């Protein structure tokens, strides 16, 4: 069991380190102005136009790191800083989010699969752990029976969330690859600016990888609690 706690601690430490590195990278590349003088919003609009996508809107959304593509209403939502600023970091984020819009327009299978899982993941992420804990408590009080299956149901729901984190990986990496390919092929950035955009997206992708590994560790922990307890 101590090995598990050491693993969780290591994952938490790596997650913090990657997140801190990502923030520092974006702060650094936010100071690298674009030679073309385009804002993140303008870059997003041009990338959509270059891909022949006419039914997606680019809008500014409040907050920081709130950038996302919403396939339900076909909007590229850029945080205020990304939407308005004219630097390598803003260019990277804007192009990445449009990368998701391109995936949607071209019916990228993994994006469709991930979108279909969202409703279930919203439920599973909110109740799975409570089902497991409730099942374990009931099992300790009344013995193995229905309680065991309640805990198993919680594990199954938690596994859905874990699968979702791994499906997210190719979706995010592909969106970044599409963004970088467009930025390079259209000669949108100078060599220095492109290097900054590429580095920013590389570190952003690592946050998803750490999250997926952490999700697996959590699933394994609760599986040990359920199946280990069932043998007592």
| 104 neighbors 68 (Cβ within 8 angstroms) | no
Which positions are annotated as active-site residues? 97
103: closest CA among 31, 182, 197, 43? 182
List all residues 6 or more positions away from 148 whose beta carbon is below 8 Å from its beta carbon.
135, 139, 226, 230
Which residue, chain included where needed, has tokens 């750490």? 210
CA dist 70 → 79, 143, 163 (Å):
13, 46, 21
| Class of residue 203 by CB neighbours under 10 A (exposed 0-12, middle 13-18, buried 19+) | middle
């Amino acid at each position: 069991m101590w090995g598990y706690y050491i693993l969780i601690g290591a994952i938490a430490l790596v997650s913090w380190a990657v997140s801190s590195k990502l923030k520092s990278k974006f702060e650094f590349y936010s100071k690298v102005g674009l030679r073309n003088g385009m804002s993140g919003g303008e870059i997003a609009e041009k990338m959509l136009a270059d891909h022949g996508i006419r039914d997606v809107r680019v809008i500014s959304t409040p907050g920081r790191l709130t950038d996302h593509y919403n396939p339900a209403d076909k909007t590229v939502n850029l945080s205020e800083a990304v939407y308005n600023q004219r630097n390598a970091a803003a260019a990277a984020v804007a192009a990445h989010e449009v990368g998701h819009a391109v995936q949607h327009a071209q019916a990228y299978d993994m994006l469709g699969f991930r979108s279909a899982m969202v409703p279930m993941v919203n439920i599973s992420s909110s109740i799975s752990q409570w089902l497991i804990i409730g099942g374990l408590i009931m099992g300790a009080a009344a013995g193995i029976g229905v309680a065991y299956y309640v805990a198993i149901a919680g594990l199954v729901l938690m596994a859905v969330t874990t699968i979702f984190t791994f499906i997210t990986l190719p979706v995010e990496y592909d969106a970044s690859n599409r963004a970088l390919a467009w930025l390079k092929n259209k000669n949108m950035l100078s060599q220095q600016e492109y290097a900054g955009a590429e580095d920013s997206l590389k570190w952003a992708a690592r946050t998803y990888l750490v999250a997926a590994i952490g999700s697996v560790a959590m699933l394994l922990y609760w599986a040990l609690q359920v199946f280990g307890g069932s043998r007592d």
